[in-house]
Structure 1
């Protein structure tokens, strides 16, 4: 009998093949600041419509790629007033059932999809598009469940072009059936603190007010930024299981939560940061694709659980015994094709006792909240947040990286000249350790400050990935012409190369008399004397990641 792990690997391969189509499609798009598309031609617009309309498989993955980075947050089944005319019943057209649509799932039988009251034939596009055979995985169905899942904001211009493929009306009894027959994927989301500022609501992504970050070295659970890619799963800890598979040794193990808690408990104070933190500043140079995060997509917490290296050693997996090069993580959050969120790290980090990778079941002394991975999350200190997979369901040790979209076709950096027409995601490695970064938490942009004894006060944070300690933070009150070191640095006592905790800083900086408007700047220096670039023009990239140029805040002096 085939093991569950072998079956899952077959599923992985199918999903990986589908992701290649998603990649080719997404590379033909250009995004403006609010996430809407600017196509180079009508053909590209039509191409996106068709690919997005496809219900399952590659179509669903494509909607995931696009809509998880927009700011749209309409109710799952809502139809905006300005798009009611699209997909409406049209007199004089033939009527088809969903069973009729299902019969048309290949170029030989024509490729149909349904939306609201409409039926659409997209065969002509499929024949011409590279990877069209993979897109067929989603043909012959309704698009509505997937638009519900990814909370599509419906663009009248896009839907007008979609109507060009209209061939008929959907039978009355089938209209909305696929939506009525599915639970609202966002109907059981956790309650969130009112102070969190959403960058998107479905899936939920939000950051706390920036000023709050500098108040405490440990970020309260309720105010920790939230980065979700899919609906939050509701996992029962009593029935929870973690699957671990080493595919070069063919070893497997299944652990319940109580089994994991039997290992020595290890706590680590570690900062987690989204790769897109401060993207809103990079957008000012040129549009990028992604959520418009401010400076607070970062937080610091005490994470507690079992060391991953202890669990693997207990399975007989060590540097001497394994030939694996990567450790893949899969979450229990899934898309409509049952494809989970996934990512991976290098084996050296996972097996190193000083790497402090833990299977965390506590956050700041409490069970991890649902938004942050209950009941188990892998914490990979010093590494980008995308690799700290939440709702951890499976671990695979392999010679290969994770095949998941988020490892292969996202969270990578590129040169400033690379755009969506020329990008090749195979040419860049996945982001792991993040560069040194800092931000001014107070004062905020546009504030009016009172000068006391010729000085103004500043507060903020600084952090560097890879376990590098912050050794100095410099601030400027003249746009970066002159600098001074801050007055105090607050962190924990850990040392390089295990300094996973951020640093909070404070400074009083003199300002010249008769100044009314000034620009404050900050830059940090880590224990390897890395510092931040001066501006975003030099580090701009099409995904808006690794945004660590000087943080600049313009204020008025009273």
Structure 2
């Protein structure tokens, strides 16, 4: 069974490369997102890799280059599990289109998921390779997939401090099961708190070097620009490289255009804040003129996981604009309008999430 058939319940934005997200009620159904309901973001082909013969190469500014199988990783290093959100930098891009056209897939708020990732700490592997932890270095990933329409493999990099952070993994399992092919089998990076672009799948090699990766996916793409910059005028060297993801919240239920009953209705969604805590979610049924505070559901020992929220709203007959906004432990909240952060690539959409419904 091919990927499209296995994922026929997802909302597909592209067949080749395959890109798809779940319906939001399915996304909100479980704190840990099942692999079948997890969004898929691909930049090229889905590589076929034999797990038995697989090897990961560690090269560059290390004293002991390594070539490791999955069995080597499991035997030589502590196996750990981190609960963390994975989120595309273009999550909620669709909402920016109301301001002006943007490039890229029109993701709703479903280009996100939360899972238990199991693997080994990247820090432990780098230490075994003899890295200088005090140096100003970068850790570059190169992968087995080839970027669509290009002749180079996917690649990205992170700074050494994040690579050595205890939450950053080389993961071979998701929710207690081996990675599915579309999620990176046999091995992927998991860099909690960062955009999914920094958690490459199908790892081929890791190179420790004194500069960020020169791969076009790192050097030219996933850059944040101000609103006056266009695709024609964008200079990648002047763009902000997207790493940490912003505070965000989304309404998962009810869906846009839903017909609800008059009276009490349950509104549910998620909120994320990178490595910070979500401390409050406000919900409005009148477009943001008045607010009520939602109940939060979080795991104290999972700082990189999302927070679920829910609230009962008493709806009068007629149309309602439901709105959600989150607050983090620094007292920061979201911008009210997509105009405030619009950029031509539609990255980091994080304004109040709005859903129009009718009660009768």
Partner of 2:142: 330
The reply on whether 1:478 has 2:286 as its aligned counterpart is yes
The reply on whether 1:211 has 2:22 as its aligned counterpart is no
Output the CA distance in 2 between the equivalents of 1:255 and 1:404: 23
User: Is contact 2:63-2:129 (8 Å) kept?
Assistant: no
Q: Deviations over 1:319-357 (max 9, x none)?
A: 23xx3421111111124765210111111011133xx11
How far has the Cα of 1:421 moved from its partner? 2.8
User: Is contact 2:58-2:67 (8 Å) kept?
Assistant: yes
Output the CA distance in 1 between the equivalents of 2:5 and 2:330: 41
Partner of 2:301: 494
The reply on whether 1:340 has 2:135 as its aligned counterpart is no
For 1:543, which of 335, 338, 345 is the aligned residue? 345
Q: Deviations over 1:201-241 (max 9, x none)?
A: 10000001111111110000111000010110010011101
Between Structure 1 and Structure 2, the one with more helix by share is 1
How far has the Cα of 1:190 moved from its partner? 7.4
The reply on whether 1:409 has 2:220 as its aligned counterpart is yes
Between Structure 1 and Structure 2, the one with more strand by share is 2
Distance 1:189 1:556, change over 3 A: closer
Structure 2: give runs of 5+ residues left out of the alignment: none
- Give matches, 1:506-517, under 5 Å: 506-511=310-315, 513=316, 515-517=317-319
Partner of 1:77: none
Greater CA radius of gyration, 1 or 2?
Answer: 1
The reply on whether 1:362 has 2:173 as its aligned counterpart is yes
Output the CA distance in 2 between the equivalents of 1:429 and 1:327: 18
- Give matches, 1:427-438, under 5 Å: 427-438=238-249
The reply on whether 1:349 has 2:162 as its aligned counterpart is yes
The reply on whether 1:301 has 2:115 as its aligned counterpart is yes
Name the SS of the counterpart of 2:341 in structure 1: coil
For normalisation by structure 1, the TM-score amounts to 0.62
Distance 1:234 1:446, change over 3 A: same
The reply on whether 1:287 has 2:101 as its aligned counterpart is yes
Q: Deviations over 1:500-551 (max 9, x none)?
A: 000111101233x4x4111000001112222110001111001000001100
- Give matches, 1:34-433, under 5 Å: 192-247=6-61, 249=62, 251-262=64-75, 263-320=77-134, 323-335=135-147, 338-353=151-166, 356-433=167-244
Distance 1:365 1:201, change over 3 A: same
How far has the Cα of 1:293 moved from its partner? 0.7
User: Is contact 2:120-2:171 (8 Å) kept?
Assistant: yes
Output the CA distance in 2 between the equivalents of 1:473 and 1:406: 34
Output the CA distance in 1 between the equivalents of 2:309 and 2:160: 34
User: Is contact 2:285-2:313 (8 Å) kept?
Assistant: yes
Partner of 2:272: 463
Q: Deviations over 1:359-379 (max 9, x none)?
A: 100000000000000000110
For normalisation by structure 2, the TM-score amounts to 0.96
Q: Deviations over 1:82-130 (max 9, x none)?
A: xxxxxxxxxxxxxxxxxxxxxxxxxxxxxxxxxxxxxxxxxxxxxxxxx
Output the CA distance in 1 between the equivalents of 2:34 and 2:337: 32
How far has the Cα of 1:251 moved from its partner? 4.3
How far has the Cα of 1:385 moved from its partner? 0.4
Higher RCO (C-alpha under 8 Å, 6+ residues apart): 2
How far has the Cα of 1:191 moved from its partner? 5.1
User: Is contact 2:298-2:306 (8 Å) kept?
Assistant: yes
Distance 1:264 1:424, change over 3 A: same
Output the CA distance in 1 between the equivalents of 2:234 and 2:85: 30
User: Is contact 2:271-2:309 (8 Å) kept?
Assistant: yes
Structure 1: give runs of 5+ residues left out of the alignment: 1-186
